[in-house]
Amino acid sequence: MPDKTIITLEAAQIAAERFLEDRLKKLKKLNIEKLQLSSVEGIVIYMVEGKADIGGGLFTRRTVLDFKIQVAAADGAIVGYETTGVKTE
């Protein structure tokens, strides 16, 4: 049986950042707070957690979202995500 290889932490972070950039059109800043390798239902994943700053300008408020993204360690595919904790400033 061949050894299974996994992507690097850096590749998982890049996959998560690209996913959020595609989803959140007015994204200003990303802050990755936690990045760890784990297993969910037999699938090895990277759990990426952090905050995303959206919008903010002269006439609009800044919104901060907490996010959690699951990135498959085998190929970098996004297998799950959620955003919570909307805060406007």
Name the token pair of 65. Answer: 């979202």
CA neighbor of 51 nearest in space, from 76, 25, 17:
17
- Residues in the chain with pLDDT values less than 70: 1-3, 57-60, 85-89
Distances (CA, A) of 60 to 12, 35, 55: 32, 31, 7
Q: The domain 9-88 is classified under which CATH number: 3.10.450, 3.40.50, 3.40.109, 3.40.390?
A: 3.10.450
Say what the pLDDT of residue 89 is: 60
Separation CA 64–CA 15 (nearest Å)? 20
Tell me the domain boundaries of the chain. Answer: 9-88
Indicate the pTM of the whole model.
Answer: 0.82
Separation CA 49–CA 38 (nearest Å)? 13
- Count of Cβ atoms closer than 10 Å to residue 49 Cβ: 15
pLDDT in tens, 31-43: 999 999 998 888 8
